[in-house]
Structure 1
Amino acid sequence: MRRSRTGRRAGAALALTALTVPLTVAFSTTASATAASSCYAVRGPYQKQAEKFLGLRVDGRQSASDCRAIRAFQTSHGITPNIGYAGPVTWGVMRVVAQQQAAGHQPNRAHKCPTDRGRIACVDLTRQISWVQDGSKLVYGPVPVRTGRNGYETRTGAKRIYWRHLHHVSTLYHVAMPYSQFFDGGQAFHSISGSVWSAPGSHGCVNMRGKDAKKYWSLLKNGDDVYVYGRKPGT
């Protein structure tokens, strides 16, 4: 049976579509992969600070090795876009990490968290760290945390854990809050799936890495003291 011109045109159009779609997808995938692996060649406003923090040669110039090092830091700390640009967000995280590293094994060196209450979980908003101590003895930590953003600040002062829920889900934000230990209204210690260094912060809870939240769950119980002090940068 002889095909009409209309039928031939339709067949040709279908064939062209079948070829075009895979090529488009392949091109997009390749372009995305290229963009994801790219490194920004322009120096950022905090280039020298980033170089010093990372132990690089401090000359304020963006070299390929500088970019790779900055990008590796961004990737490991959940900073996006992770293109090796030393901008304010990256430098802000570096400053917090530097303070966390400086805390070492003596986070309560300034004696701001009470040492006369037995087992207590301390939260320093300024340095974005938390630890558990028994009297003056460090039990666990310090560990990095992410506290409340501007307008949703984690409230300071003396608290106590009053409710624990291993598989809690927020009724306000509909997100999972594993290992939740509530100490002040809706504010609690709990783990998150993302980075504890990512901006801008929580809605008041003390966000933790999974392993740290799990350890806190094993160390604390209802009635244990919590003490929150300081002020998170940017709030």
Structure 2
Amino acid sequence: MRTSGVWRSVATATALAALTVVSGCTIQPAGPPGTSPAASPPAGGSSSAGSSPPAGRTPDAKPPASAGQPAPEVLWSPGDRGGDVRELQARLRQVLWLYEGPTGTYDASTVYAVKGFQGKRGLPRTGTTDSVTWQRLLGMTREPGKWDLYASGGQPAAKPDPRCMTGRVLCISKTSRTLRWMIDGRTVSVMAVRFGAQYTPTREGVFNVYFKSRHHVSTLYDSPMPYAMFFSGGQAVHYSADFAGTGYYGGSHGCVNVRDEGKIAAMFAQVRDGDKVVIYW
């Protein structure tokens, strides 16, 4: 009897062991293509079904929605130049992420603005403009006008007026808003300019510089007019800090405002009393 009891105990233990093995063989849930079933926990780790997941993780975590998706196409990146970059910058100005330019060059300020725009909308802060970033920006802005694109200058200079082709001339185009400093038909330098407002327009025609004043201050408006070169009454070509700061979103009281102080300083040193001024469309 004792022997048979031992055999019954052995048989029972064997059956229980078999059941235990079978109950532990569960079917692993199917993962993404190419994945393998989860590995066994490392030695010393808990395999209890009721244990909590590690901190920072959730049970049955799924891969990000972007997993397996191609990265969006990069359209423009630092160092790029051209009209497309100028439009990008103009649109970033509309949503107040960029305050200078447009310049047409993807510079450090543009990278900073793009990163800010991306981060605000939950996009990766790469600083490069990809197709997703561009579409989001397009949906929030309007198409820039000509002077939005050239708010701080950069518009190609218009063809010189025939009256500019001889002598020493400040050749000023209202169409392209540019000034060519020319000597005997040769362009010495080109600079962005703006003109008088609606009720104080800049006169058109042929004039001559009759007075120069390096540190001039307007007697009518008590405003600085550095590098002033007067050509018609109180109208002059001069540097404008306001133009440099706000671009074409302002205007003068009839003077020709120059944005680039370095360029007008160089021109001021060369211009003489009597030099011609031609203002045309």
| Structure 1 and Structure 2 fold alike (TM over 0.5) | yes
Distance 1:162 1:95 in 2: 35
In the TM superposition, residue 194 of structure 1 has moved relative to its aligned partner by 2.2
Aligned to 2:84: 54
Deviations 1:147-201 (A, max 9, x none): 1111111100000000111111001110111111100111101111123423231
Would the alpha carbon gap of residues 87 and 210 (structure 1) be closer, same or farther in structure 2, given more than 3 Å must change?
farther
Give the Å deviation of 1:70: 6.8
Task: Measure, in 2, the Cα distance between the counterparts of 1:67 and 1:131.
Answer: 30
Specify every segment of 5 or more residues in structure 2 that has no aligned partner in the other structure, as ranges. Answer: 1-81, 103-112, 118-136
Contact 1:124-1:229 at 8 Å conserved across structures: yes
Match for residue 7 of structure 1? none
Output the CA distance in 1 between the equivalents of 2:150 and 2:196.
15
Aligned to 2:254, which of 193, 204, 212?
204
Cα pair 1:154 1:187 within 8 Å, conserved: yes
Over 3 Å counting, the alpha-carbon distance change for 1:214 and 1:222 in structure 2 is same
Change (3 A) 1:193 1:135: same
* Cα distance in 2 between the residues matched to 1:218 and 1:181: 11
CA spacing shift, 1:203–1:56, aligned 2, 3 Å: closer
Whether the 8 Å CA contact 2:161–2:171 is kept in 1: the answer is no
Q: Within 2, Cα distance between the matches of 1:137 and 1:205?
A: 25
Distance in 2 separating the partners of 1:225 and 1:217: 14
Q: 1:122 to 1:157 in 2, by over 3 A?
A: same
Distance 1:122 1:146 in 2: 13
Task: Call closer, same or farther: CA 1:72–1:160 in 2, change over 3 Å.
Answer: farther
One-letter code aligned to 1:135: D
Match of 1:195 among 243, 260, 263: 243
CA distance in 2, matches of 1:222, 1:86: 48
Q: 3-state DSSP class of the match of 1:203?
A: coil
Indicate the residue corresponding to 1:120 in structure 2: 169
Secondary structure at the aligned position of 1:114 is classed as helix
> What percent of counterpart residues are identical?
27
Task: Give the 3-state SS of the residue equivalent to 1:194 in structure 2.
Answer: helix
Q: Does residue 102 of structure 1 match 2:156?
A: yes
- Aligned-partner residue type, residue 211 of structure 1: G
TM-score w.r.t. structure 1 length? 0.58
Name the structure 2 match of 1:93. Answer: 147
Distance, in Å, in 2 between the alignment partners of 1:57 and 1:180 is 33
Report how far residue 53 of structure 1 moved.
4.2
1:54 to partner: Cα distance: 3.4
Partner of 2:42: none
For residues 227 and 204 of structure 1, the distance between their equivalents in structure 2, rounded to whole angstroms, comes to 15
Letter in 2 for 1:217: F
Is the 8 Å Cα contact of residues 227 and 265 (structure 2) preserved in structure 1? Answer: yes
Number of residue-to-residue matches in the alignment: 161
Q: Is the 8 A contact 1:189 1:205 kept in 2?
A: yes
The answer to whether the 8 A contact 1:122-1:132 is kept is yes
TM-score (norm 2): 0.49
Distance 2:175 2:253 in 1: 17
Letter in 1 for 2:248: S
Determine the structure 1 residue equivalent to 2:274: 223
Answer whether contact 1:128 1:144 (CA < 8 A) is retained.
Answer: yes
Give the equivalent residue in structure 1 for 2:183.
134
Q: Deviation at 1:215?
A: 1.6
Change (3 A) 1:172 1:76: same
Specify the code of the residue in structure 2 equivalent to 1:205.
Answer: C
- Tell me which structure has the larger Cα radius of gyration: 2
Flag structure 1 segments of 5+ consecutive residues without an equivalent.
1-51, 59-65, 231-235
User: Relative to 1, partners in 2 of residues 1:96 and 1:76: Cα closer, same or farther, differing over 3 Å?
Assistant: closer
For the 8 Å contact 1:130–1:145, the answer to whether it is kept is yes
Q: What residue number does 1:213 align with?
A: 264
Aligned-pair Cα RMSD in Å:
3.4
Q: 2:197 aligns with which of 149, 152, 158?
A: 149
